[in-house]
């Protein structure tokens, strides 16, 4: 157990708009290894939900199997959680979302859970544009089974076991862009300054939002020869832009230099202001995102930040033209056509 | 030669090439018999193929109301060159063989015990129909017209059917009716008084409908309030979802024409069931429909739903396995695979409908059952039931019926709880605990669902005693299930001795008919039609009361027999397997003969062998 939190709550803890403290968003104590990147991500999720004043019980948190997928127990204790089976979080989340379109769905997965056993479901939940935040806690290895390479391990990178990975790595962000995901970002568990606003933007985005977070495995994959170690990521990380997420009610006070800033308005009126290092990068253009990812890959760098946003897409419910009221709240009267109609239907079978 | 001479009691088989439009013509014939008030049972025996392979359509006409397959063919309409010889050989002595005489028959066709009826179908079509594209389709209508004359059918029923079918496109009705007349006229000119089989208007059908099981299942899902369906296309279950889609588009729209249902075609069967489970977890009624290969894939998630206690409905329209097997042929061969699907100790509630009426009722009940028990419920249909049309009485929906949503705590109930909410706390002692739906209460009722071992508060545990308690409680729930699943239908004959017969699902109709055949031969058997799993005490008692029982089913290994032995502990000698495994629907003559043979074997003195 990496940490034990005291039960005591200071009366002066800062509260959000709902009157909740950050503590109200916490979960059970983590049982992951001390220093695990995943715990930092859990903390960032807690911070993002706290800052956005999200009602904890209006969140459903789902996961697959693996170290990453244990984490939903460690945040948002007042939310319903579902630790499903290996690689099947996307389908279960799809069903849950179909039942109630009004909750915020946070799906947590790992690189094994997503890029290998769950690749099919990941691909299809993205192309259906399910309204959810899909977080990959990406450490390039299978932690729970003691450090085998995963499908996101870079070719040539070697874990503590010492044998370089011989296979090509899958870049989930690049795939997601190609699949038509409306929000794609990459974070690093060691950079909360960047990760918290990424998560906030992802939560505010309507539709499928992939947040791939490089999250070093301190036990099996944090050695000098690994490209998913804390040191390597810090040394090779470059961001598309620094950015601010301005929720709908907040007044914009900062002044941005013209030309280097791109603003994208989200569905609810929230605006993301990106302050870019490279002015040719266009966050709304799929080709631009893929090019930027490929350019950085060639240079041995890891591109982070918000990679792509497209707010014009319809989500699954829009596409299926489902009624406004959540399906799980429809009454029998609203669902059952009644015996008279049934007898009319049978006229077609005579 | 003695010609078969019967009124409203025969089997006619149409042998066609698939993809040639024969299905709708043959259906026209079956529907005409139905509309004449005569019980009729059409069976489509088709290939897993889109165009060019042999396909057969059998229609049993039975004034007495026998709706199962009888066995044997009295009249064959042979318009497929590929199977012509076999079709000819399959005809019963005294039967009638209608063929396209445009081409001469070879030397093979020399039977003296049948009546050949040669009609130059192709020639007539080529001569009478200008548009060559329409000829193959209308050739089928032509033979229906001829058959109508030969069977002395009321011709207006056919023309009315065509008119009704093309009510929106009257232009298409005209050539169809003309072809019916051409066939009728040719037969009346050349084969007057040849055929001694006939269809006479009857009053055996009153308010009956002619419906396929898959449509009935889908209607059941609509009426029981299912809103989410995840699915993956697979024969023969696809039409369940297609019908659900069709019905919800008609009867489940809000004021602004938005849909009160979400149907997702998934990437595979894993995701299909995952979608249904996720929706059920979140408080919607959800289901999926699949067949054998899909069941294999769904094993993983069935185990999850069983252990996390999430209600979900799965419709299994069985086909012939193993593996890809015969995708368009019928079987009851997933009984064991479904009863114990998934790794670890798992058991699932099964329902066995025998006709569309039960498809509707059991589909509707399955949602109540799944939510009451918080576990998967599998509706065990099959291709014969699902895809063929069956004569049945129209189902009724009791408008005063209330959905039974099981033990779900709402916000007020959570507020009035005096103890901490425990998702897996068995407070009622029936093995079924209370659940909550996400988003219900700001402070109370949240829990963490997991497929890993969990305690009464849904917390992760590796405590051996806690694990054991949980598994034993699930056994307790299984006992509760016995009080809720539909009971068997038992028929006891006055004169029956120690013998009994057990059957289920689509083996039912042929089995009942076989019992009558046996009865006439002095063999009286009590019968028990199983309708659900787990087995109640009634099932045990029925078997206990008899010395020897025949278990009739459509698979090789006698899977229901194994299940009965395994669950109830009966000795193998007591239950004798009667199987039918060729992929066509089981028939009465086969059952009758098999039981007679087995009886001869069992009654033969064993010569002192121990």
Q: Across the interface, do A332 and B451 touch by the CB < 8 Å criterion? A: no
Interface test with A, best of B42, B282, B356, B406 (most A CBs within 10 A): B282
| A79: contact with B, CB 8 A cutoff | yes
Q: Across the interface, do B270 and A323 touch by the CB < 8 Å criterion? A: no
How many distinct helices (H) and strands (E) make up chain A? Answer: 12, 13
| A346: contact with B, CB 8 A cutoff | yes
DSSP track, B474-519: HHHHHHHHHHHSPPPEEE--TT--SEEEEEEGGGHHHHHHHHHHHH
CA–CA gap between residue A12 and residue B114 (Å, rounded): 100
What DSSP state is assigned to residue A9?
-
Helix H or strand E segment including A299: none
**Would you state the torsion angle of the CA atoms of residues B454, B460, B464, B465, taken in this order, to the nearest 10 degrees?**
-50
Q: Across the interface, do A121 and B267 touch by the CB < 8 Å criterion? A: yes
A–B interface: beta-carbon pairs under 8 A: 226
Interface test with B, best of A53, A71, A80, A320 (most B CBs within 10 A): A80
Confidence of residue A251 (pLDDT cuts 50, 70, 90): low
Q: Hey, what are B397's tokens?
A: 């929906």
pLDDT digits (tens, 9 = 90+) for A30-86: 999 999 999 999 999 999 999 999 999 999 999 999 999 999 999 999 999 999 999
- What are the chain B neighbours of A78 within 8 Å (beta carbons)? 442-443, 446
* Nearest residue to A276 via CA among A238, A247, A325, A314: A238
Tell me if residue A127 falls in helix, strand or coil.
Answer: helix
- What are the chain B neighbours of A335 within 8 Å (beta carbons)? 225, 227, 252, 260
CA–CA gap between residue B396 and residue A144 (Å, rounded): 54
The average confidence (pLDDT) of chain B is 96
Average pLDDT, stretch A132-147?
95
Q: Identify the CATH number of the domain defined by range B489-603.
A: 3.40.50.920
Quote the pLDDT of residue B223.
Answer: 98
* Nearest residue to B312 via CA among B234, B406, B233: B406
Q: Hey, what are B11's tokens?
A: 């089997």
* Helix B121-128 with B135-150: angle, nearest 10 deg: 120
Q: Hey, what are B293's tokens?
A: 């290969």
Average pLDDT, stretch B328-341?
98
A4 Cα distance to chain centroid? 26
- What are the chain A neighbours of B160 within 8 Å (beta carbons)? none
Average pLDDT, stretch B433-444?
97
Quote the pLDDT of residue B608.
Answer: 42
Quote the pLDDT of residue B51.
Answer: 87
CB-based contact A84:B270 (threshold 8 Å): no
Q: Is the pLDDT of residue A296 over 60?
A: yes
CA–CA gap between residue B327 and residue B584 (Å, rounded): 12
Question: For B269-382, where are the alpha helices, taking DSSP H only?
Answer: 269-281, 292-308, 335-339, 356-373
Quote the pLDDT of residue A6.
Answer: 59
The average confidence (pLDDT) of chain A is 92
Q: Across the interface, do B439 and A82 touch by the CB < 8 Å criterion? A: no
Q: Across the interface, do A322 and B279 touch by the CB < 8 Å criterion? A: no
Average pLDDT, stretch A188-205?
96
Say which residues have a Cβ less than 8 Å from residue B232's Cβ, sequence separation at least 6. Answer: B265, B266, B267, B268, B269, B271, B272, B290, B294
CATH number among 3.40.50.10140, 3.30.930.10, 3.40.50.720, 3.40.50.970, domain B211-392: 3.40.50.970
- What are the chain B neighbours of A334 within 8 Å (beta carbons)? 260
Confidence of residue B332 (pLDDT cuts 50, 70, 90): very high
* Nearest residue to B477 via CA among B580, B344, B602, B375: B375
pLDDT digits (tens, 9 = 90+) for B172-207: 899 999 999 999 999 999 999 999 999 999 999 999
CA–CA gap between residue A137 and residue A151 (Å, rounded): 13
pLDDT digits (tens, 9 = 90+) for B495-525: 777 999 999 999 999 999 999 999 999 999 9
Quote the pLDDT of residue A280.
Answer: 84
Rg (CA), chain A: 21
Q: Across the interface, do A79 and B394 touch by the CB < 8 Å criterion? A: no
* Nearest residue to A298 via CA among A191, A200, A186, A154: A154
- What are the chain B neighbours of A94 within 8 Å (beta carbons)? 230, 264, 271, 274-275, 278
Kindly list the distances between the CA atom of residue A275 and the CA atoms of A256, A257, A262, B251, B326, in Å, as whole numbers in the listed order. 8, 8, 7, 52, 61
- Residue in B with minimal Cα distance to A69: B450
Interface of A with B in 46-65 (CB under 8 A): 55-58, 60, 62
Minimal Cβ distance to A330: which of B227, B439, B450: B227
| A71: contact with B, CB 8 A cutoff | no
* ipTM computed for the complex: 0.95
Sequence spans of domains, chain B = 6-198, 211-392, 411-484, 489-603
* Nearest residue to B78 via CA among B61, B102, B60, B94: B102
Tell me if residue B437 falls in helix, strand or coil.
Answer: coil
Q: Is the pLDDT of residue B144 over 70?
A: yes
What DSSP state is assigned to residue B273?
H
Q: Across the interface, do A322 and B262 touch by the CB < 8 Å criterion? A: yes
Query: Which residues partner with B167 through β-bridges?
Result: none
- Dihedral sign for Cα A29, A31, A34, A40, please: negative
Quote the pLDDT of residue A42.
Answer: 98
* Helix B464-484 with B356-373: angle, nearest 10 deg: 150
CB-based contact B406:B480 (threshold 8 Å): no
Interface of B with A in 6-35 (CB under 8 A): 35
What DSSP state is assigned to residue A309?
E
Quote the pLDDT of residue B609.
Answer: 42
Q: Across the interface, do B267 and A124 touch by the CB < 8 Å criterion? A: yes
Q: Are strands B499-504 and B548-553 parallel, antiparallel or unpaired?
A: parallel
- What are the chain A neighbours of B275 within 8 Å (beta carbons)? 91-92, 94-95, 98
Q: Across the interface, do A100 and B268 touch by the CB < 8 Å criterion? A: no
Q: Is the pLDDT of residue A5 over 90?
A: no
Q: Is the pLDDT of residue B286 over 50?
A: yes
* Nearest residue to A195 via CA among A75, A77, A53, A43: A43
Worst-scoring range by mean pLDDT, A203-217, B108-122, B487-501, B537-551? Answer: B487-501
CA–CA gap between residue B360 and residue B226 (Å, rounded): 13
CB-side neighbour CA atoms (13 Å) of B388: 32
pLDDT digits (tens, 9 = 90+) for B478-499: 999 999 999 999 999 887 779 9
Interface of A with B in 126-155 (CB under 8 A): 128
Q: Hey, what are B401's tokens?
A: 């019926």
Q: Across the interface, do B225 and A339 touch by the CB < 8 Å criterion? A: no
Q: What percent of chain A has pLDDT over 90?
A: 83
- What are the chain A neighbours of B403 within 8 Å (beta carbons)? 332
CA–CA gap between residue B601 and residue B346 (Å, rounded): 38
Q: Is the pLDDT of residue A276 over 90?
A: no
* Nearest residue to A208 via CA among A327, A110, A128: A128
| A82: contact with B, CB 8 A cutoff | yes
Q: Across the interface, do A83 and B227 touch by the CB < 8 Å criterion? A: no
Residue A279 has a CB neighbour count (10 Å cut-off) of: 10
| A99: contact with B, CB 8 A cutoff | yes
Helix H or strand E segment including B102: none
Q: What percent of chain B has pLDDT over 90?
A: 94
Strands, E assignment, B46-151: 54-62, 73-78, 91-100, 115-119
Q: How far apart are the first and last CA of chain B?
A: 51
DSSP track, B441-482: -SSS---EEESS-B-TTS-B---HHHHHHHHHHHHHHHHHHH
Q: Across the interface, do B254 and A323 touch by the CB < 8 Å criterion? A: yes
Q: Is the pLDDT of residue B251 over 70?
A: yes
- What are the chain B neighbours of A56 within 8 Å (beta carbons)? 442, 446
CA–CA gap between residue A140 and residue A188 (Å, rounded): 13
CA–CA gap between residue A176 and residue A169 (Å, rounded): 15
In chain A, the domains with their CATH numbers are 22-320 (3.40.50.970)
* Nearest residue to B437 via CA among B408, B404, B407, B413: B408
Quote the pLDDT of residue A255.
Answer: 53
Rg (CA), chain B: 27
The Cα of A241 is separated from the nearest Cα of chain B by a number of Å equal to 36
Kindly list the distances between the CA atom of residue A298 and the CA atoms of A36, A295, A301, A307, in Å, as whole numbers in the listed order. 28, 5, 7, 17
| B211: contact with A, CB 8 A cutoff | yes
Quote the pLDDT of residue A249.
Answer: 60
- Residue in B with minimal Cα distance to A66: B452
Q: Across the interface, do A81 and B447 touch by the CB < 8 Å criterion? A: yes
Say which residues have a Cβ less than 8 Å from residue B293's Cβ, sequence separation at least 6. Answer: B234, B269, B321, B323, B324
Query: Which residues partner with A244 through β-bridges?
Result: A273
* Nearest residue to A65 via CA among A38, A88, A85, A91: A85
The Cα of A166 is separated from the nearest Cα of chain B by a number of Å equal to 29
- What are the chain B neighbours of A316 within 8 Å (beta carbons)? 262, 264
Worst-scoring range by mean pLDDT, A41-50, A169-178, B594-603? Answer: B594-603
Q: Is the pLDDT of residue A9 over 90?
A: no
Q: Across the interface, do B279 and A343 touch by the CB < 8 Å criterion? A: no
pLDDT digits (tens, 9 = 90+) for B16-63: 999 888 999 999 999 999 999 999 999 999 998 888 899 999 999 999
Average pLDDT, stretch B355-368?
98
Quote the pLDDT of residue B610.
Answer: 40
Residue with tokens 């569309």: B356
What DSSP state is assigned to residue B215?
H
pLDDT digits (tens, 9 = 90+) for B296-329: 999 999 999 999 999 999 999 999 999 999 999 9
Measured CA angle at A280 (ends A275, A285), to 5 deg: 90
- What are the chain B neighbours of A90 within 8 Å (beta carbons)? 271, 274
Helix H or strand E segment including B126: helix B121-128
Interface of B with A in 189-208 (CB under 8 A): 208
CB-based contact B587:B333 (threshold 8 Å): no
pLDDT digits (tens, 9 = 90+) for B376-390: 999 999 999 999 999
Backbone angles phi, psi at A164, to 5 degrees: -65, 140
- Residue in A with minimal Cα distance to B400: A338
Tell me if residue B287 falls in helix, strand or coil.
Answer: strand
Residue with tokens 């997420």: A245
Task: Report the phi/psi class of residue A345: left, alpha or beta, with left for phi > 0 and alpha for psi in -120 to 50.
Answer: alpha
> In CATH terms, are B211-392 and B489-603 the same topology?
yes
* Nearest residue to B53 via CA among B22, B84, B18: B18
Q: Across the interface, do B443 and A83 touch by the CB < 8 Å criterion? A: no
Query: Which residues partner with B6 through β-bridges?
Result: B197
- What are the chain B neighbours of A323 within 8 Å (beta carbons)? 254, 258-260
- What are the chain B neighbours of A179 within 8 Å (beta carbons)? none
* Nearest residue to B198 via CA among B147, B238, B237, B240: B147
Q: Across the interface, do B270 and A121 touch by the CB < 8 Å criterion? A: yes
Q: Which CATH superfamily is domain B6-198 in?
A: Pyruvate-ferredoxin oxidoreductase, PFOR, domain III (3.40.920.10)
Q: Across the interface, do A335 and B437 touch by the CB < 8 Å criterion? A: no
CA–CA gap between residue B269 and residue A91 (Å, rounded): 10
């Amino acid at each position: 157990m990496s940490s034990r939190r005291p039960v005591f709550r200071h009366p002066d803890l800062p509260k959000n708009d709902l009157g909740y403290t950050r503590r109200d968003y916490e979960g059970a104590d983590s049982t992951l290894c001390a220093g695990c990147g995943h715990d930092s991500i859990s903390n960032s999720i807690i911070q993002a939900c706290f800052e956005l004043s999200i009602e904890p019980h209006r969140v459903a948190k789902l996961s697959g199997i693996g170290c990453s997928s244990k984490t939903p127990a460690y945040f948002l204790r007042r939310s319903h959680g579902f630790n499903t089976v290996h690689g099947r979080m996307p389908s279960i989340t799809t069903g849950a979302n179909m039942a109630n379109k009004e909750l915020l769905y946070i799906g947590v997965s790992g690189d094994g859970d997503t890029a290998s056993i769950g690749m099919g479901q990941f691909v299809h939940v993205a192309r259906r544009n399910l309204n959810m935040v899909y977080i990959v806690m990406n450490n390039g290895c299978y932690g729970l089974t003691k450090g085998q390479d995963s499908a996101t391990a870079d070719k040539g990178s070697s874990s503590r076991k010492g044998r370089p990975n011989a296979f090509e790595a899958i870049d989930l962000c690049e795939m997601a862009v190609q699949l038509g995901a409306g929000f794609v970002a990459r974070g690093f568990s060691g950079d909360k300054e960047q990760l918290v606003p990424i998560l906030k933007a992802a939560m505010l985005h309507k539709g499928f939002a992939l947040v791939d977070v490089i999250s070093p495995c301190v036990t099996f994959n944090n050695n000098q020869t690994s490209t998913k170690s804390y040191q390597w990521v810090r040394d090779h990380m470059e961001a598309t832009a620094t950015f601010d997420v301005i929720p709908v009610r907040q007044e914009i006070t900062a002044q941005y230099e013209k030309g280097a800033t791109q603003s994208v308005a989200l569905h609810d009126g929230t605006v993301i202001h990106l302050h870019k290092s490279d002015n040719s990068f266009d966050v709304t253009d799929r080709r631009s995102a893929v090019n930027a990812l490929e350019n950085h890959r060639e240079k041995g760098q890891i591109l982070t930040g918000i990679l792509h946003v497209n707010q014009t897409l319809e989500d699954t419910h829009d596409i299926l033209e489902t009624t406004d009221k959540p399906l799980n709240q429809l009454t029998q009267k609203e669902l059952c056509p009644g015996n008279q109609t049934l007898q009319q239907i049978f006229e077609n079978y005579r | 030669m003695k010609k078969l001479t019967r009124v409203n009691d025969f089997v006619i088989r149409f042998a066609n090439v698939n993809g040639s439009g024969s299905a709708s013509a043959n259906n026209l014939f079956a529907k005409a018999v139905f509309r004449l008030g005569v019980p009729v049972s059409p069976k489509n025996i088709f290939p897993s193929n889109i165009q060019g392979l042999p396909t057969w359509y059998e229609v049993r006409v039975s004034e007495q109301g026998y709706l199962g397959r009888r066995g044997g063919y009295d009249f064959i309409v042979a318009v497929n060159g590929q199977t012509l010889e076999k079709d000819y050989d399959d005809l019963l002595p005294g039967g009638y063989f209608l063929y396209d005489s445009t081409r001469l028959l070879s030397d093979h066709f020399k039977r003296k015990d049948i009546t050949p009826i040669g009609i130059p179908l192709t020639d007539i079509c080529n001569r009478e129909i200008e548009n060559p594209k329409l000829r193959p389709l209308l050739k089928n209508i032509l033979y229906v017209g001829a058959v109508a004359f030969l069977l002395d059918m009321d011709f207006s029923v056919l023309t009315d059917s065509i008119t009704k079918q093309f009510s929106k496109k009257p232009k298409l009705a005209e050539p169809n009716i003309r072809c019916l007349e051409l066939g009728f006229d040719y037969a009346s000119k050349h084969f007057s008084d040849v055929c001694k089989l006939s269809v006479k208007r009857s009053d055996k059908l009153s308010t009956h409908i002619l419906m396929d099981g898959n449509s009935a299942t889908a209607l059941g899902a609509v009426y029981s309030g299912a809103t989410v369906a995840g699915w993956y296309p697979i024969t023969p279950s696809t039409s369940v979802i297609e019908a659900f889609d069709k019905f919800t588009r008609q009867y489940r729209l809000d004021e602004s024409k938005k849909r009160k249902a979400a149907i997702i075609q998934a990437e595979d069967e894993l995701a299909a069931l995952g979608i249904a489970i996720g929706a059920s977890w979140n408080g919607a009624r959800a289901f999926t429909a699949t067949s054998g290969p899909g069941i294999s894939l769904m094993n993983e998630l069935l185990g999850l739903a069983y252990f996390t206690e999430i209600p979900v409905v799965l419709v299994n329209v069985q086909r012939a396995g193993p593996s890809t097997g015969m995708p368009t042929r019928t079987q009851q061969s997933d009984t064991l695979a479904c009863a114990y699907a998934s790794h670890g100790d798992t058991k699932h509630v099964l329902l066995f409908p025998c006709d569309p009426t039960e498809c509707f009722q059991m589909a509707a009940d399955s949602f109540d059952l799944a939510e009451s028990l918080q576990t998967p419920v599998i509706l065990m249909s099959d291709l014969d039931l699902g895809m063929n049309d069956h004569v049945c009485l129209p189902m009724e929906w009791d408008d005063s019926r209330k959905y039974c949503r099981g033990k779900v705590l709402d916000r007020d109930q959570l507020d009035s709880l005096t103890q901490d909410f425990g998702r897996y706390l068995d407070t009622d002692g029936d093995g079924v605990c209370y659940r909550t739906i996400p988003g219900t209460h700001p402070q109370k009722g949240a829990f963490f669902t997991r497929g890993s071992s969990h305690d009464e508060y849904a917390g992760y545990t590796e405590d051996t005693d806690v694990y054991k308690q949980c598994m034993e409680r699930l056994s307790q729930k299984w006992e509760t299930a016995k009080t809720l699943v539909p009971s068997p239908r038992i028929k006891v004959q006055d004169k029956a001795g120690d013998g009994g017969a057990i059957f289920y699902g689509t083996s039912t109709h042929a089995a009942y008919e076989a019992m009558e055949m046996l009865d006439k031969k002095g063999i009286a058997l009590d019968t028990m039609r199983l309708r659900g799993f787990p087995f109640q005490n009634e099932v045990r008692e029925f078997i206990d009361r008899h010395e020897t029982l025949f278990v009739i089913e459509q698979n090789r290994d006698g899977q229901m027999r194994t299940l009965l032995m395994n669950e109830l502990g009966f000795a193998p000698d007591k239950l004798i397997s009667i199987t039918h495994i060729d992929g066509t629907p089981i028939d009465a003559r086969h059952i009758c003969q098999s039981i007679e043979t087995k009886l001869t074997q069992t009654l033969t003195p064993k010569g002192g062998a121990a």
